[in-house]
Chains A and B, each alone.
Chain A
Amino acid sequence: MRFALVGQPNCGKSTLFNQVAGYRAETGNFAGTTVTFTESKVRVLGDVVDIVDLPGAYTLAGASPAEREAFRYLASREVDAIINVVDASHLAHGLSLTLELLELQRPIVIALNMMDEALRLGMRIEGPALEQALGAPVLPVVASRGRGVKELFTKAYAVARSGAAPRQPMYAPDIEAAIQTLLTRLQPEPPGNSSAHGNTHASGRHPLKPEAIAIKLLELDNDVVARVEQAIPGARALVKATVEQLEHSRGQTTAWLMSAERQRRAQELAHSIVKQGARRFSWRDRLDDILLHPILGYVGFVVIMLAFFQIIYGIGSVLEKPVLALFEQIAGGVSDLLGTDNLAVEMATGLLQGISGGVAIVLPYLAPFLLGLGILEDVGYLPRVAFLMDALMHRLGLHGKAIVPFILGYGCNIPAVMSTRILEEPKDRFLAAALSTMVPCAARLAVVFGLVAFYLGPALALVIYVFNLFVIAVTGRVLSRFLPEDSPGLILEMPVYRAPTARAVTQKAWFRIREFIVEAWPILIAGSVALALLNYLEWTRYLNMLVWPITWALGLPGEVGTPLLFGILRKELSLVMLAQALGSSDFGSALTSNQMITFTVFVVFYVPCLGTLAVLMRELGRRHTAYIVTLTIGVALAAALVARAFSALIT
């Protein structure tokens, strides 16, 4: 048996899913966080039920990838019951999707979620009246606290068992007539039956009923029209003629007419069953007066971000020391066991370095960052940040939502790249990912501090940070000019502030950490071993030659090449290896101050670390990752040359 959770973004659908499914889903306040669906097996009344969390969709007729995905699933897979999650505090909106779902003529249960929120807003919803009007069961739920969840699933189970379809909502007479025409003339063969769709059960029951197909034909849903045309040649022409006739008499597209009618009906319905009482104002309503204030808002932003980084670095440094000490101990043990200066020990060291590298990313940075991000996200602060920063991000050719990867980038580029998923446009995702890999992460902070701040003073380190921002801004402007499509700009719902639940936050963080462990870590380990091998074979000479054009152009000693290459594994390695390569850890005497600045600036910008590259590959694909690598090398060279010229001037 299979239930599908369907609902609009921010309705608490994923929260409900997590309540019953445990460790598999992501939830978030950013519309469209769940772009792919998640599935889980759950026990309901002794039966095992597959529960599918479909991506949030405002409408089944929508154009966004998430909406297409949701409709495609319902149109091609056998679902025994639809659980439609509706935000009770925004009933008029949610019901327009409900009406669309009723048209599918499948067993359905409506979960009125966030009943507590609705009460706070002074709304009294008459459940029985709504049930009557819709002809489908309606149950109140507070998903975040698990209230009503059990009853909901029990009801869904009963409805699925009985197979009772809801009442079909009716459109205006002329639209209904057009639907009937298509029904009788085409007798549309349910597309789920075609062999092209291997996903359906062999039961012979079709995912889409003829009435639902007729409605989708009238809306000119490309997929459905194409599939019906395949089964009944000539269907497309008939659909077109019917649609044109209707559009001619009404002067609007059919898709528009039908969605307008559903929305009007949803409004009326919500009006008739909601009794509006006095709204209780609370601190949550006033919070935005401060956090979105033209001045205080930015002060608040800086304070919150400082606290965020302070706490995360705090946790990170507490965790990092014992872990790194442990690995040093193991490394010592390995060389005791295998001796020194042979292939085995070098390989083992490489392996260990890869493993410890992964741990040194996950524990101190990735885990606390993702937990922190999850809290900010679930509280509802991130959309506020997007609002505050929209104007600034426009200067980079992006919009407000793209601020998130930038903030995260200062901690670690890996979660930064992961977070570009919140952007809708592929162009925005690429640009935000490319720029956020140039944000100096905590590891690069170590290089800036170890070289520039330590030997040349903290003021100069600050100059490097400001220079970094400037270079990112210039790169963003130039890049956005070369990337064709213009992004439409910010459209973002501000959810009400909510207290985050520990469960949702940890689950979401774990979900992303697991991605890193499975995909990026193995690459990191393999890279470490490969470089250890090169090191053992004493090919560093060749490595240095490989990088020689760069070191020569920047006026750096040739031995610096190997540390730069190792820096790709983990950025702080470029500093550790630098001591090895120069044969001295007193950089002040081995390098001129000019060289130190040039080296640091280059390290800040060039090629993101291997872990980030692996995540980039997953998010953007191989080709775009290659673009970013090329871009960062180019930008790093240019920036380092500028820094070299500049420091020659001042010293």
Chain B
Amino acid sequence: MKTVHATELMEKVLLKNIESPNSTHIEEYRRVGGYRAIEKALRMPPQQIIAEVKSSGLRGRGGAGFPTGMKWDFASRDPKFPKFLICNADEGEPGTFKDRPILERNPHLLIEGMVISAHALRSERGYIYLRGEYPYAKVVLEKAIEEAYEAGFLGERILGGDFGFHLSVHQGAGAYICGEETALIESIEGKRGQPRIKPPFPVNVGAWGMPTVVNNVETLANIPFIVEIGGEEYSRIGNPDCPGPKLFSVSCCVERPGVYELPMGTPLKEIIYDHAGGIKGGGRLKAVIPGGISTPVLTPEKIDCPMDFVSLPKYGSMLGSGAVMVFDERVCMVKVCWRAMRFFEHESCGKCTPCREGTGWLRNILERMETGNGWKGDLELLRDIASSMAGKTFCPLGDGAAGVVLAFIKDFSEEFEYHIENKRCMVTG
């Protein structure tokens, strides 16, 4: 039976008007109310914008869920100038494609969000770090930036005031780790994208040693709305601990995969069954990865979990990027786990020992199992290697890789054992 949830009545904020064929054009964006928040924001003192963002309770949508207002506050208190604002559009987490509709269909919302944020931070230079795999988004964004310059929303003296902001796209080149903010900064500086030692944090020592705020696309796209309706009002949407609208990208075995804008805290079950149309072909749910491939897999009995930063950890996983990957009975968990590990091995930056060596070793073992060459004791070995990595890697990539294996072999151990013992797959034979 279909559960009716108040969220269906919610007006779209982030994906507003994206169905319009002209949604990327500045006139169309302005026609539906775009670039109005900017006028309001430029009249507000920077500190007041930060205060609004703080009171909104907005938490970063890039995966870690750090309170955005707090991050801005740190950066703005640092006396060094210039300051940099970077939009993290590296969206590389497998299963994640939630930023893509904004980048490809609603670029001006992001630009408006960035200009307001820059004003709040007194930053005069911004970059959109766009993954290399989104060439179309690059075209769209560059066109939109051009339009925004022409319309006076970017450049010197925005809207005739004394605030100026320059924005450009920095194209990544195929490195998932560059989504991690310090690796991203290295990459913008023209270096190998390896994460930096923290502290110091980017808010104090970021790009070119200057205070730098890195925010996800979706985070920044929330800003105009917060300015428009005020932080207080915004904080009433969804879960009060981490409020606001949230984009969920739903994929794999569902009837209607796609990006859904829903309030934070919408139950996983509702996302899968009501919005994404349930399991494809009426199959039975076997497992869900709730927040992108790096987040631990959940078993079906956990799907009443509300999808937000505070609830998922209680269910043994994380919200991550909000990328819901749904697997039915026909999907082999060993194979998914192997493929995930191949990804981590490929994307490990090589800086730290456990991730560089461990991901390859894990992939090797999983590959053996998957192709019917598993050995007795492999499961323990997997667990041992993954535990040796967990908590000891330099950055969360390696930790995530370990967590994936640990979750899979915990909840689906029969499937792994079946592979080892029968030298073939339990589901595909």
**Binding between chains A and B:** no
Interface on B for A, CB 8 Å cutoff? none
Chain A residues in the interface with B (C-beta under 8 A): none
